[in-house]
Chain A
Amino acid sequence: MKFLRNSNLAQAWLVLVLATFFGTALAGIQVKLSPVIEANKIRETMEKIPNLVLDASQASAIKTQDLIIQSRVIEVEKNGITKFYPVYDVQLKDGTLAGHVAKAKGQGYADKIEVLLGLDAKGSTITGLFILDQKETPGLGNRILEKPWRDQFVDKSSDAALVVVKSGTGQDNEIDGISGATISSRSVTNIVNTTIADIKPQLLPASKNENTKKLNGKIKEIE
């Protein structure tokens, strides 16, 4: 019995040596690359934030480093389910609150749609919309990615729920649907509506919240 085990081990020595060798290599890779990957993930959201709360001319004048971006999580309990919204509060360098960006997820036509929604400091006007992730039909549904369509949301008031219409009559709370992709356009609008309804009551007491994290510091640390 002992002999057998010995011989099994002896036969597997190559596998063991290789496993040790590869394990060391992977540990090295992990130490070297995982900070970069983490930074990539944070930067993906961070890069979009200035354009979502500031208008284009302001955003191009300001570097991301000049903004103070803090992240926190807003919890909303609805029908027994708790929903979480990561929210980024954006302050200018002089400390004035420029606006908030919320990350929200919802069901689209094909799969989940993930958006970043920019609101002004009081949360009363939409300042920007960006689609982070979607798997809608190319050529139809994924036209929600196009800037002209997304820009319809900018400057809309957050008081009334937005509705998707086939041909606009010029009312304030109307969004023109994309022809051939009514469901996708309606999904995005729904996500925007729900997000606003959920987070608006909790937007304001931002500065005193304890679980805010300074993101700028984190990304600098990583780099």
Chain B
Amino acid sequence: MADSPTAFERFVQGILPENPVYRQLLGLCPTLAVTNGMKPALTMACSVAFVLLCANIVISLIRNLLKPHLRIVVFTLTIATFVTIADRFLAAYLFQMSKTLGPYIPLIIVNCLIICRCEVCASKQSVFTAASDAIGQSIGFGLALSSIAAVREILGTGMFFGIRILPEAWPDWVIMVLPPGAFLTLGLLLGLVNWLGSIKSRRAS
């Protein structure tokens, strides 16, 4: 970590090598709560992306003015503002979806992913790097969310984006769209990702 990573490195790292969910275990609350269908999962990923991008840009713009001990206050203020904006936009233009997501949109405020990126990247690097870091992390977060949502929605309801893809004979595994399904799916996928990672590193060595 002697040289701070470039914009492109930040972008690539966010997607897989430092995937916020599978690698850093950040933002688990929405990851589990809204992944019982693809649509809420993607809406959540987009909201997080919006907040992360805006917060990263703002923090990066004012990074030279930040006093170290007031930095968390500034982060929280910025994030909470953008979350409120995202929440109101959803309520105004995607009313049903905002009802489905309920309290999980405001809970983005305490999503460790965003405050962690502000601290690690945006408060130290230029706007361009911070923005590409935000986009990379958001794509990584979106990928993680949609991978879990895909498993849960297909197994749980036989549907994908609300369209039936498994034959009618498929007995819906209702448990997958219920809370326990979220834990089981994420646990198994996390194990799978770790396993693939260990194979890769073994091969490299």
Whether the complex brings A and B within 8 Å at their CB atoms is answered: yes
Query: B44-84: which have CB < 8 Å to A?
Result: 62, 65-67, 70, 73-74, 77-78, 81, 84
Contact A37 B81 (CB under 8 A): no
Among B77, B84, B95, point to the contact of A18 (Cβ < 8 A).
B77
**Which chain A residues lie closer than 8 Å to B66 at the CB level?**
14
Docked Cα-Cα span, A14 to B91, in Å, equals 31
Please choose the segment from A21-29, A55-63, A87-95 that sits at the chain B interface, where 4 or more of its residues have CB less than 8 A away.
Answer: A21-29
The 8 Å CB contact of B77, one of A19, A36, A139, is A19
Q: Does A221 lie at the interface of the complex (its beta carbon under 8 Å from any beta carbon of B)? A: no
Q: Is the CB of B174 within 8 A of A37?
A: no
For the complex, give the distance between the alpha carbons of A12 and B178 in Å. 46
A residues less than 8 Å from B95 (CB atoms): 37, 40-41, 44
A65 to chain B, nearest CB (A): 20
Q: With contacts defined as CB atoms under 8 Å apart, how many contacts are there between chain A and chain B in the complex?
A: 58
Q: Does A140 contact B (CB under 8 A)?
A: yes
Q: B177: CB under 8 A from chain A? A: yes
User: Per-position contact with A for B77-101: 1 when CB-CB < 8 Å, else 0?
Assistant: 1100100110011011101000000
Residue in contact with B88 in the complex, picked from A11, A12, A29, CB distance below 8 Å: A29
Q: Are A18 and B172 in contact (CB under 8 A)?
A: no
* Contact of B156 with A by CB under 8 A: yes
Q: In the assembly, what is the distance between CA of A14 and CA of B88, in Å?
A: 26
Q: How many residues of B contact A (CB 8 A)?
A: 24
Say whether chain A's binding surface is mostly helix, strand, loop, or mixed.
helix
Choose among A15, A19, A33 the residue that contacts B91 (Cβ–Cβ < 8 A): A33
Give the docked Cα–Cα distance between A44 and B99 (Å).
Answer: 11
Query: Across the interface, which residues of A come within 8 angstroms of B74, CB to CB?
Result: 14-15, 18
Chain B 91-134 residues near chain A, CB threshold 8 A: 91-93, 95
Q: A80 within 8 Å of B by Cβ?
A: no
A139-B174 in contact (CB<8A): yes
A138 within 8 A of B: yes
Task: Report Cα–Cα, A15/B78, bound state, in Å.
Answer: 10
**Residues in chain B near residue A137, CB distance under 8 A:** 174, 178
Instruction: Name the residue of chain B whose CB is nearest to the CB of A44.
Output: B95
Cα A50 to Cα B153 in complex, Å, equals: 33
Bound complex: CA of A12 vs CA of B89, how far in Å?
Answer: 30
| Assembly CA distance A133 to B157 (angstroms) | 20
Residue of B nearest to A36 (CB): B92
Q: Do B77 and A22 touch (CB < 8 A)?
A: yes
Interface residues of B (CB under 8 A from A): 62, 65-67, 70, 73-74, 77-78, 81, 84-85, 88-89, 91-93, 95, 156-157, 172, 174, 177-178
A-B pairs with lowest CB-CB distance, top 10: A139-B174, A40-B95, A22-B81, A36-B92, A33-B92, A37-B91, A33-B88, A138-B177, A37-B92, A14-B65
